[in-house]
Structure 1
Amino acid sequence: MTALLVLLGLVAVGAVVPAPVVALGPGPTFDTLGDVDGTPVVSAEGLPTYPTEGHLNMTTVGVTDGVSTLRALGMWASGDYRLAPRYTLYQPGMSVEQVTAENQVEFDGSIANAEAAALTYLGLPTRVTVGALTDGSPSAGVLEAGDEIRAVAGSPVTSVQGLLDALARVRPDEPLELTIVRDGGAPRDVSVTPRGHPDDPDRAFLGITPATSPADGQRLSITLGDVGGPSAGLMFSLALVDKLTPDPLTGGRFVAGTGTVTPEGDVGPISGIRFKMLRAQEVGAQTFLVPAANCAEAAAEAPGGLQLVRVGTLGEAVDALETLDRGGTPASCG
């Protein structure tokens, strides 16, 4: 009887006491060509847009926190979830709100990169703008998000890399003249005194996130609430390319995928690809775009019947979809 009471007590404790883990599994998926709550996920103003077909679904990893020990064991035993130490996602001393805010910053960065990659791929005119200001930025009160930066110390800048190259020649703690345009007004000069960069005191730090934006009078918009992290960049870029070019990319297919993207269009690796593939197949995807660096992992864990396509750049992803539309076979992870 005593042993039974002890066992029941352990079960009761295990049913209510949170385990020091999080459960990772398939998360929500969204069609980047569609709408969420009546708002297009991807849209453009001041640019010609065209009808699209099929699906270009971005995929996510679901994170379940605060699970009891017994539930965690059950989720692990199901094979649909993986358990990870909680501190790998929620660092000691950080609140859930702080982690969520960091994920949102990464997501906002992925949106900026996706827009830049699409504009670069399509060869559209662009401007260098202030995407955001960091906390405690030395540019606060002088620059604002959305400002166009046309010159640094009198030297014109036409790309984010050009801005970074110009700043590499600047010394910290010395006033720097920038030529900016705000809200479509006339160009004007402002002065900012950069500080030393947190990672390199000898490098000038303006405390801004530069962005590549479309020409004046044009606007790209990517809107998707309650999603964080950088791994939707590739699918956002593809949706923009699809909407800004005459021929539908998917040919009516249900395509899903994942991958970070740089402003230059390079596709980077992500985590949790197994869960993303499972959810993609569950909702009806026929083809899944896989970052080249994730191909070996994806091939080993892909659900049967899901076509894996290897992509290393935005251009390769577009070419792969066009190849599928012609009845060809794009590069595979298999």
Structure 2
Amino acid sequence: MSTPQTSVPQAPQRPGGLSRRTTWLLVVVLLAVVIGAIGQLVKMPYAIFSPGPAQDTLGKTDNRDIIAISGTQTYPTSGRLDFTTVSLYGGPNYPVTFWQWLRAKTDSDSKIVPEEQVFPKGVTGKQVEQENTAEMVGSQEAAEVVGLRAAGKKVGETVTVGAIGKGRPAEGRLKVGDRIETINGGPATTLSAVHDRMDVVTPGSPVQIVVTRAGARQTVSVPTAKDPETGRAVIGISLAPKYTFPFKVAVNAGDVGGPSAGLMFSLAIYDKITPGPLTGGKEFAGTGTIDTEGTVGPIGGIQQKMVGARDDGVDYFLAPASNCGDVKGHVPDGLTVVKVGTFDEARTAIEKVAKGQTSGLPSCG
């Protein structure tokens, strides 16, 4: 006797139907799209510093010299004097998304800080842009003053009263726009001269200030107060220096804002108007603010700027002495960091390296 064969009938498939595998795949893709979109929409209360590009101040950007000088003799340069940048995310213009925050958490070259450390609460995007632009313009002017004076060029200078603090000793005595001529009988027509004159004043003693107001000179007696932080005598004004340059210097830095390229701008200006390449063909990068007296000031994001310099292939990095705490322990392999506190120190360090005298350069330890 034969055993009967049995079979299980298959469910008919509907024409054009999706298999279970395809359906699940579509669900996964849809979820990924939704999660990705949510990650882009969620804003994180942080600012992120990441390494940005470096630009050679002796070179060009958008087919224009970064430092363009006309009206005087210029000289050939060599090597590189790079100013370094950071890519900064956060604030009202570029709020940090969840995905940017997550990437930065896994990137050892990026730094995450609370947003309010960089962008004060309530600041608008336009205010941030205006501040960055103003700082860059001020930095360029200071660099021009320092570079030209270091090269022996005469830069005319006058100092006027830019602002007067409410309730401060100068209120009701000096006026915004007054041009300062002398303090206690001594010339005070430059920022450094004003500071020197005030440094020897005993807090509480009045000062006799000769100003030019509406074209006429007059003497004003102004009481002083003691600055609680420095102990110096102050009268409660902000100074607004004005400069007269012997020829034209234009800085074309693209869309870079802020004051941190001041040191490198001043070195490039000096290099272009003095005989012989300052660098001796060597490649340098650096950062730091500069004031008109040649003092180099601290900046933010120096660790990321050192990474950018290393990625650009330079060997030497000029770092503000006041940033040494952030430099220690974070110097990329292959990069030599030189500590500088003034324009003269930076220039001297470059000249030594150019001559092959690389031992004993000041460092952050």
TM-score (norm: length of structure 1): 0.76
Does 1:42 find its partner at 2:67?
Answer: yes
Structure-2 change in CA distance of 1:20 and 1:230 (3 Å): same
Does 1:103 find its partner at 2:132?
Answer: yes
Cα deviation for residue 297 of structure 1 reads 3.1
AA paired with 1:210?
Answer: P
The match for 1:321 is 350
Does 1:30 find its partner at 2:59?
Answer: no
CA distance in 1, matches of 2:102, 2:311: 24
Provide, for residues 85-126 of structure 1, a one-character-per-residue CA deviation record: whole Å limited to 9, x for no partner: 222222111112112211222222222222222233333322
Contact kept? 1:128, 1:157, Cα under 8 Å: no
Identity rate, percent:
36
Does 1:256 find its partner at 2:285?
Answer: yes
Structure-2 change in CA distance of 1:69 and 1:306 (3 Å): same
RMSD over aligned Cα atoms: 4.1
AA paired with 2:53?
Answer: P
Structure-2 change in CA distance of 1:296 and 1:94 (3 Å): closer
1:275 aligned to 301, 304, 308, which one? 304
The match for 2:192 is 161
- Decide which structure has the larger Cα Rg and report it: 2
AA paired with 2:283?
Answer: F
Provide, for residues 136-187 of structure 1, a one-character-per-residue CA deviation record: whole Å limited to 9, x for no partner: xx977x68xxx9x877899754422335667999xxxxxx97559xxxxxxx
Q: Which sits farther off after the overlay, 13-22 or 268-277?
A: 13-22
Contact kept? 1:29, 1:280, Cα under 8 Å: yes
AA paired with 2:75?
Answer: Y
Structure-2 change in CA distance of 1:107 and 1:12 (3 Å): closer
The match for 2:44 is 19
CA distance in 1, matches of 2:138, 2:50: 24
CA distance in 2, matches of 1:286, 1:209: 39
The match for 1:128 is 157
SS of the residue 1:115 aligns to: helix
Structure-2 change in CA distance of 1:207 and 1:268 (3 Å): closer
Contact kept? 1:267, 1:313, Cα under 8 Å: yes
Does 1:70 find its partner at 2:99?
Answer: yes
Contact kept? 2:161, 2:237, Cα under 8 Å: no
Structure-2 change in CA distance of 1:189 and 1:284 (3 Å): farther
> When the two structures are aligned, how many residues end up with a matched partner?
315
Structure-2 change in CA distance of 1:167 and 1:290 (3 Å): closer
AA paired with 1:103?
Answer: N
Structure-2 change in CA distance of 1:329 and 1:117 (3 Å): same
Structure-2 change in CA distance of 1:158 and 1:119 (3 Å): farther
Q: Where does the alignment leave 5 or more consecutive residues of structure 2 unmatched?
A: 1-27, 165-173, 202-208, 228-232
The match for 1:172 is none
TM-score (norm: length of structure 2): 0.70
Contact kept? 1:177, 1:189, Cα under 8 Å: no
CA distance in 1, matches of 2:287, 2:239: 27
CA distance in 2, matches of 1:139, 1:288: 44
